[in-house]
Amino acid sequence: MAKRITVDPITRLEGHGKIEIFLNDEGNVDRAFFQVPELRGFETFSLGRPAEEMPRITPRICGVCPTAHHMAATKCCDDLWKVDPPRTAKLLRELAYSAFTVEDHYIHFFFLGAPDFVVGPTAPAAERNILGVIAKVGLEIGGKVIRVRRENRELMQTMMGKVIHPVFGLPGGVSRGISEEERKEFLETAKFTIEFAQFALQLFDDVVLKNKEYLDVVLSDTYNHKTYYMGLVDENNKANFYDGKVRVVDPEGKEVAKFAPRDYRDYIAEHVEPWSYITFPYLKKPGWKGFVDGIESGVYRVAPLARLNAADGMATPLAQDAYEKMYEILGGKPAHATLVFHWARLIEALYSAERMKELLEDPEITCPDIRTVPTETPTEGIGIVEAPRGTLIHNYWTDENGILTRVNLIVATNHNSAPIAMSVEKAAKGLIKNGEVSDGLLNMVEMAFRAYDPCLACATHSLPGRMPLIVSIYNSQHELVRKIRRDD
Amino acid sequence: MADKPKVAFYWCASCGGCEEAVVDLAEDILKVVEAVDIALWPVALDFKLKDVQAWEPGEVTVAFINGAVRLSEQEKWVKLLREKCPLVVAFGSCSHLGGIPGLANDKTRQQILANKYLRAPTVDNPNGTLPQPETEIDGYELELPVFYKRANALDQVIDVDYYLPGCAPPPDLIMGAVQAILKGELPPKGSVLAPEKSLCDSCPRKDSKPDKLSIEKFKRLATSIPDPEECFLAQGYLCMGPATRSGCGERCINGNMPCRGCFGPPPGTLDQGAKMLSTICSVGEAETAEAAAAYADSLDDPLGTFYRFSLPVSVLGHSRRKEE
Amino acid sequence: MAEGQFEPRIVGFLCQWCSYTGADLAGTSRTEYPPNVTSIRVMCSGRVDPTFVIKALAEGADGVLIAGCHPGDCHYQVGNYKAMRRYPMLLNLLDQFGIERERVRLEWVSASEGNLFAEVVKEFTETVRALGPLNWDAKAPAEVVAG
């Protein structure tokens, strides 16, 4: 008798996600679908607006990573008006952006990811949350987590006007700079953040890497996909989140593409399914082969592990050490284990913290020349940044007055939509056998998509530590056969 | 079990910024958590539809709902919460006014679907597949909630008791609202929980706003440099300050960018956009039809500027313009 | 009145000192003109908040007429200049809403111009008649909200 398992809703996802699992007659998983039932229409309703308003409109796509959209939109406007900002403006943008990457990564890691590792994937649900983490690591450290978030967000608010939905980006530069006094204050924040970043990696080492049980979970086949990987790199092929070229490596780690933002449409296309509002990007070469991985399939991944796979290293010393150590432990590049995204996330945060200090020590960071006024007629622009959750692409066309006529956006988590669907299906297949649906399944399925930190991973307290799941099992007559609730 | 009042948070067509705003209470959130039990918060906590359905009416004191209502799933949830909770607070611009998703009322649902799934330059969709409320695939049936024709503010779907404005509401207003609810010291139903004056009144640049504003024509931020101290309107930049409620702390102004109206209109204003139009045309130099037309034409995208956050609750509510 | 013909509903905001008096003159002179305008007397054309115009259109009007003193003759000196400046910007806004510019008219009619008032009404009524009913659906009825 065929059975259907509905997991609705998923939490910690932009909008409301849903998982549908279908069992065959033997009780094994035949198909699993990850559906995204959310649509607002930014690419359409921004038409008719002046393009320089996009850095203020597009952050409303996501209130957790608004700075990513703000920055992609601002760079897109630079490209649109063919204007190159003064060096100080770029330093300021990258500084604010680095602080943002740090605080966003830590929100995810400590409030969402860490509970599975610090407390344990099979620990009691009531403890699998930030409070459980703090109980295990101590109040002093808990206080540091709150402090690192607060200080970096205060820096962002000062620099960008608002921290939720920044305003300072303009074509050709930024609207305001920083004073010497602010620079000194921010430098203290950067130093503290570097310290904290090293501590976080040490925590991961102590709690996960030195624990065989966790390490086995991390490296298991259940959470493994051999996909292509994409990320921005600088001219030395080191990872950079603010600017660079897009680099793609195949499942064996070989570079197959490295292109300027302007050429993205030659490499990426989007597939549509009728059962989800999200589209499924894929690499045009080798093309869409369905929800499968491997070198013949155009499915690719973005975000921390993908970026580290796609780059040759990190541009700052401590992060580079951590990068090398990670690949040594994993046995080489590229790494395919989905849960390693959590580790890569911490290395990226360390890099961003080091970068903040570098930028704050640059003598030009307080220079008053923060804007080049555009003089060219706008036509088309493309801006790409690495959002914490992946490559973010903004593409605008305007009339000669800079009024938008066409907009194309590929938002970070969008690139991962096929991999997430595949990860969920693989986890389900690996864990549900012969019709047995165990409680452990529920958490393990969560872990499969949570590692991607899907957009709008909650930045709040995840108090009970587990996702509300109601697993309803229907027979082929649509009669309810069994219901498992994961209750407190 | 202590008798702490219970609160619920829920999100509709939301970006999650309002959730972040609650976390930005930082250490203050501990005071909140001490004083209340959070009974629902899909982004963070276990919640089950069944549990909400099982709440006794009044068991959960207040529901803070953010996001515009755009999908059938959202309508179902907000109606349930209205039924269960004595107090419903529209939290943030989207539920208060429609917000940025409300700009979608400027276009049709057909355009949105076509631009995203059929005409986008990177989409490869030779069969013209569109997301469907019901799909059958390989013999399995899947559902998606229905995407409505318009984005709606919360009070266009259910009765709302109070409004907490802003995109996102600032921490001090959130704390103020929570404390007022806990103490039972609320203003009359229907009030917006923010100051009664317009932004100009609290703006750090108000001293540089002349008594008689004289704008010859509007400037674009893209092609000029805003002065960091002078009133934006006096500089020739459209700033929604005169038609926007105060209370945000002028964060955008401090970022050296003009106001875009996210707090909605001041009290007594029916239509934020029309009021702003009235204001900037009351002043101005033009005294001939030609000069008046030139002044008007110097402002790009009046609809998207005057109604950036408030299109769904505006008097006209949506646009009928056919796509070119 | 031809049977079955669409009769436009037009709201007219007429300023007390000039155009309302001018309309009165058309009346007392028994000048014939179409009955499609519902007059609302305001003290000055500068009193006409664009919200009034928008509200009229949203609530059933097919057209709106605003009439004031000739430039330079405003009883309050500058009120009609405000109307003059609001008018083209309002039309630009209505364009974006998909409402034809021709549905809103600003005219200068003095207290002694009864015939002009009648002509304006006659001509404007035909303009709006040709455009057809507006039938603005401000509040989406339930069937429009869903699906």
Whether the CB of B315 is below 8 Å from some CB of chain C: the reply is yes
Could B168 and A277 be called an inter-chain contact, meaning their C-beta atoms sit closer than 8 Å?
A: no
Which chain B residues are closer than 8 Å to C55 by Cβ?
Answer: 270-271, 315
End-to-end Cα separation, chain A, in angstroms: 31
Residue A476 has a pLDDT of 56
Query: What secondary structure letter does DSSP report for C139?
Result: S
pLDDT in tens, C120-130: 999 999 999 99
CATH architecture classification, B6-101+150-183: 3-Layer(aba) Sandwich (3.40)
Helices A66-80 and A139-160 sit at what angle, rounded to 10 degrees? 30
Could B286 and C147 be called an inter-chain contact, meaning their C-beta atoms sit closer than 8 Å?
A: no
Q: Where are the domains of chain C?
A: 10-145
Residue A131 has a pLDDT of 65
Query: What mean pLDDT do residues B198-214 have?
Result: 93
Distance from CA of A420 to the nearest CA of B (A): 18
Does A75 lie in the same domain as A176?
A: no
Could A270 and B122 be called an inter-chain contact, meaning their C-beta atoms sit closer than 8 Å?
A: yes
Which chain C residues are closer than 8 Å to B271 by Cβ?
Answer: 51, 54-55
Q: How many residues does chain C have?
A: 147
Could B149 and C138 be called an inter-chain contact, meaning their C-beta atoms sit closer than 8 Å?
A: no
Residue A403 has a pLDDT of 97
Boundary of a domain, candidates A353, A373, A393: A373
Whether the CB of B153 is below 8 Å from some CB of chain C: the reply is no
Q: Which two tokens stand for residue C52?
A: 């009034």
CATH code for the domain defined by C10-145 = 3.40.50
Instruction: Give the best residue of B70, B108, B157, B282 to mutate against chain C (max C CB count within 10 A).
Output: B282
Distance from CA of B210 to the nearest CA of A (A): 23
Q: Which two tokens stand for residue A317?
A: 């010393």
Could C145 and B152 be called an inter-chain contact, meaning their C-beta atoms sit closer than 8 Å?
A: yes
Q: How many domains does chain A have?
A: 3
Which chain B residues are closer than 8 Å to A33 by Cβ?
Answer: 137, 140, 142
* Nearest CB partner across the interface for B320, out of C46, C53, C97: C97
Does A118 lie in the same domain as A75?
A: no
Which CATH number covers residue A155?
Answer: 1.10.645.10
Could B295 and C85 be called an inter-chain contact, meaning their C-beta atoms sit closer than 8 Å?
A: yes
Per-residue pLDDT of chain A (488 residues; tens, 9 = 90+): 457 777 665 644 445 667 777 888 888 888 877 777 666 678 888 999 999 999 999 999 988 899 999 999 999 999 999 999 999 999 999 999 999 999 999 988 887 777 777 777 666 655 666 667 777 777 788 788 889 999 999 999 999 999 999 999 999 999 999 999 999 999 999 999 999 999 999 988 988 888 888 888 788 887 888 999 999 999 999 999 999 999 999 999 999 999 999 999 999 998 888 877 778 899 999 999 999 989 999 999 999 999 999 999 999 999 999 999 999 999 999 999 888 888 999 999 999 999 999 999 999 999 999 999 999 999 999 999 999 999 999 999 999 999 999 999 988 888 888 898 888 888 878 877 787 776 556 667 777 777 787 763 222 222 222 333 455 555 555 566 666 554 43
Could C93 and B72 be called an inter-chain contact, meaning their C-beta atoms sit closer than 8 Å?
A: no
The number of C-beta contacts closer than 8 angstroms across A and B is 265
Q: Which two tokens stand for residue A278?
A: 């999200």
Does A346 lie in the same domain as A198?
A: yes
Cα-to-chain-centroid distance, residue A280: 16
Query: What mean pLDDT do residues B35-45 have?
Result: 75
A95-to-A92, A186, B71 alpha-carbon distances in Å = 5, 10, 38
* Nearest CB partner across the interface for B316, out of C58, C84, C89: C58
Q: How far apart, in whole angstroms, are the C-alpha atoms of residue A83 and residue A372?
A: 7
Residue C7 has a pLDDT of 97
* Nearest CB partner across the interface for C50, out of B274, B301, B322: B274
Residue A420 has a pLDDT of 86
Q: How far apart, in whole angstroms, are the C-alpha atoms of residue A338 and residue B102?
A: 37
SS3 at position A243: coil
Residue B29 has a pLDDT of 65
Residue A457 has a pLDDT of 28
Instruction: Name the residue with higher pLDDT: A108 or B100.
Output: B100
ipTM of the complex: 0.93
pLDDT in tens, B273-315: 999 999 999 988 899 999 999 999 999 999 999 999 999 999 9
Instruction: Give the best residue of B276, B278, B279 to mutate against chain C (max C CB count within 10 A).
Output: B278
pLDDT in tens, C100-144: 999 999 999 999 999 999 999 999 999 999 999 999 987 765 544
- pLDDT class of B27 with cuts at 50, 70, 90: low
Could B149 and C140 be called an inter-chain contact, meaning their C-beta atoms sit closer than 8 Å?
A: yes
Residue C56 has a pLDDT of 98
End-to-end Cα separation, chain B, in angstroms: 62
Could C92 and B302 be called an inter-chain contact, meaning their C-beta atoms sit closer than 8 Å?
A: yes
Residue A62 belongs to domain spanning: 41-82+378-414
Measured between CA atoms, the residue of chain B closest to residue A405 is B324
Please state whether the peptide bond connecting residue A368 to the residue before it is cis, i.e. omega within 30 degrees of 0: no
pLDDT in tens, B223-234: 999 999 999 999
Residue B313 has a pLDDT of 96
Residues 6+ apart with CB under 8 A from A240: A232, A233, A234, A315, A386
Neighbours of A330 (CB within 10 A): 17
In a 10 Å sphere around its CB, with 0-12 CB exposed, 13-18 middle and 19+ buried, how is residue A73 labelled? buried
Whole-model pTM: value is 0.91
Could C51 and B289 be called an inter-chain contact, meaning their C-beta atoms sit closer than 8 Å?
A: no
Measured between CA atoms, the residue of chain C closest to residue B69 is C145
Does A88 lie in the same domain as A219?
A: yes
Q: How many helices (DSSP H) and strands (DSSP E) are in chain C?
A: 5, 4
Distance from CA of A313 to the nearest CA of B (A): 30
Which chain B residues are closer than 8 Å to A62 by Cβ?
Answer: 15-17
Does A444 lie in the same domain as A391?
A: no
Residues 6+ apart with CB under 8 A from A334: A229, A249, A251, A252, A253, A309
Residue B67, pLDDT > 90, answer yes
Whether the CB of B13 is below 8 Å from some CB of chain A: the reply is yes
B213-to-B67, B236, B237, B266 alpha-carbon distances in Å = 36, 10, 12, 20
Instruction: Name the residue with higher pLDDT: A245 or B72.
Output: A245
Q: How far apart, in whole angstroms, are the C-alpha atoms of residue A307 and residue A9?
A: 30
Instruction: Name the residue with higher pLDDT: C61 or A138.
Output: C61
Please state whether the peptide bond connecting residue A9 to the residue before it is cis, i.e. omega within 30 degrees of 0: yes
The torsion angles phi and psi of B89, rounded to 5 degrees, stand at -115, 125
Cα dihedral across residues B214, B218, B224, B226: positive or negative: positive
Could B15 and A410 be called an inter-chain contact, meaning their C-beta atoms sit closer than 8 Å?
A: no
Q: Which two tokens stand for residue A230?
A: 């994409």
Query: What secondary structure letter does DSSP report for B218?
Result: P
Residue B143 has a pLDDT of 75
Measured between CA atoms, the residue of chain B closest to residue C48 is B278
The number of C-beta contacts closer than 8 angstroms across B and C is 122
- pLDDT class of C62 with cuts at 50, 70, 90: very high
Q: How far apart, in whole angstroms, are the C-alpha atoms of residue A457 and residue A116?
A: 15
Which chain C residues are closer than 8 Å to B315 by Cβ?
Answer: 51, 54-55, 58, 138
Could C54 and B274 be called an inter-chain contact, meaning their C-beta atoms sit closer than 8 Å?
A: yes
Q: At CB < 8 A and 24+ separation, what contacts does A321-326 make?
A: A322/A201, A322/A346, A322/A347, A322/A350, A323/A347
Residue B96, pLDDT > 80, answer yes
Q: Residues in chain C whose beta carbon is closer than 8 A to a beta carbon of chain B?
A: 46, 49-51, 53-55, 57-58, 71, 81-82, 84-93, 95-99, 136, 138-140, 144-147
Provide CATH 3.40.50.700 ranges for chain B.
6-101+150-183
Does A342 lie in the same domain as A397?
A: no
* Nearest CB partner across the interface for A41, out of B42, B50, B104: B104
Instruction: Give the best residue of C86, C105, C131 to mutate against chain B (max B CB count within 10 A).
Output: C86
